[in-house]
A and B are shown apart, each in its own frame.
Chain A
Amino acid sequence: MQIAVASGKGGTGKTIISTSLALCAPGPVQYLDCDVEEPNGHIFLKPELTSRERCTVIVPRILEDKCTYCGKCRDICRFNAITLFAKTIMTFPEMCHFCLGCFQVCTDSAIVRSEREIGVLESGMAGDINFVHGRMRVGEAMAVPLLKAVKKMADREALVIIDAPPGTSCPFVEAISDADYVILVTEPTPFGLHDLKLAAEVLVNFSKPCGVIINRADLGDARVEQWCRQEKIPVLLKVPFDRKVAEGYARGQTLVESRPDLRPALQALIQEVCA
């Protein structure tokens, strides 16, 4: 079972909710931080990271002594990662989407595999929680390949909690694509509602069951709740603004640590979602 915690808008509380769910889950549980651009789960779960692996993608390197400058590799590349002027050929590894098309078209065996580092994959235990995150290399533009590497670590025997990246574009879609249920964390503001609608639209397209948690539920207005009612999306939990939670969050405390009284509600929520 995989539960993804997503939001559309950033900063609504995905990470304190997802880490709290991991802490409240019964039985074997795994937490996958799929926000590889800005992973924060480790700040809250404080895992002991015991494994570290460089993640790379395959990009072309051209052997000039074998290259006949025919231009086939440049022509197949739709990402402008290869240019050719007369007898000079250049590759731009940062532009490469590693489709391997250039390797396939080269008839002179002039292209060999090179690597581009996209980040690191780290894992370890945080108490009973099996923790995995990816940290994208600063300067790398593509988040999806590392995100896929994090998702590949998913344990089929465990309850998997996925902490998704903000937004509604490809990294978000990749993060939720294998989830059995998606929890959307929002705040009751116009920004929260606007981005919630966009995220929910993606989930409808994928026929993903979803529910909403409204964080800082008393700062804003009632439009998020009205919209959920109208769209028949269940509101799973409302968490009021609480300075204690905000201060705890600042120090790296999860919701359930600042508000232990919420544990039964979170446990019930997991049960409801898993049913």
Chain B
Amino acid sequence: MKEIVILSGKGGTGKTSLVGSLACLADNKILVDCDVDAADLHLLLDPKARSQHEFRSGVKAKVVSDRCSGCGVCVELCQFEAITMVQRARINSVRCEGCGVCAHFCPEQAIVLEENYCGNWFISDTGYGPLVHAQLFAGEENSGKLVSFIKRQARELAEETGADLILIDGAPGIGCPVIASLASVDMVLAVTEPTQSGWHDLERVLDLADHFRLQSFVCINKWDLYPEMAETIETACAQRGVAVLGRIPFDPLVVACQVQGIPVVGNEQSPAAAAIRQIWQDLQTR
């Protein structure tokens, strides 16, 4: 079984549209949306939830106000500026990191730690195979933990069903959800666009993949919006020893298909779809 994660560094380069299309092309796979705070893959795949579960992780501190004497020990100890004192301690739950130091040292035992319900996760059926996805509640932390968790669920499901492939839609950036999505993958496919920002951010993703000793491949989306930059990116990738699997042209049908909620690769007329089919063929030989 193979695990492939699609990343980009920069947001909006076309990760989800590409994963949606690869979902149509690949056989016998499990799909995972690891962009848990702005998950969009379900908008293309029309999932029917098979099961829904609560995701609980970490704790949040809570003041039992009739026990609080207002001594201020917690305010001094908190490294996250999450506690203010207005006669009694008040905890800003968004800032609270859940370290529990305040509760441990409160002389009145006036702070309790409550398990944090931070999102939901789902196993769904789509026309293209099972999808494991999640929604972290807005403003929550623990995105990395939720990503690790749903990836574990996807692996178990893949083992149960004898799937050959786990195809993962990653988050933008290079921080905790991205790092969590890299665990145990076989390869990274990075989607970029021919812009200075696209290249700047791609380099950081490739550095991250190198940091974890993962093999990466690149494809350039909307390459014809600035062919010179596409050329520059290809040359720079070649210098790094990273193969560029293909160029996807700018194609208004991609947005049109997204509006209809279908992966673009289903459209026979789309030049972008043709390029994606080629990339998938190439990727399978790697």
Contact = CB atoms under 8 A, between A and B. Distances in A.
Contacts of A243: 225
Most B Cβ at <10 Å: residue of A11, A142, A195: A11
Say which size band chain A's interface belongs to.
Answer: 35 or more
Contacts of B72: none
Contacts of B174: 37-38, 136, 138
B175 interface: yes
B200 A40 contact: yes
A219 interface: yes
B79 A100 contact: yes
Given A11-B13, A250-B229, A37 B175 contact: yes
Contact of A171 (B12, B175, B255): B175
Given A38-B10, A101-B100, A169-B140, A195 B173 contact: no
A235 interface: no
A74 interface: no
Interface string A222-258: 0000000000000000000001001101111000000
Given A169-B140, A173-B94, A194 B195 contact: no
Contacts, number: 180
B214 interface: no
B175 A136 contact: yes
Interface stretch (A120-128, A160-168, A260-268): A160-168
Given A170-B139, A198-B38, 8 more contacts: A11-B12, A11-B172, A78-B58, A99-B97, A101-B100, A138-B211, A166-B38, A220-B259
15 contacts: A10-B11, A10-B172, A38-B197, A78-B100, A99-B101, A136-B174, A141-B175, A141-B179, A169-B143, A173-B94, A190-B40, A195-B38, A220-B259, A246-B226, A252-B197
Closest 9 CB pairs of A and B: A10-B11, A11-B12, A99-B99, A250-B226, A37-B173, A141-B176, A250-B195, A169-B37, A101-B101
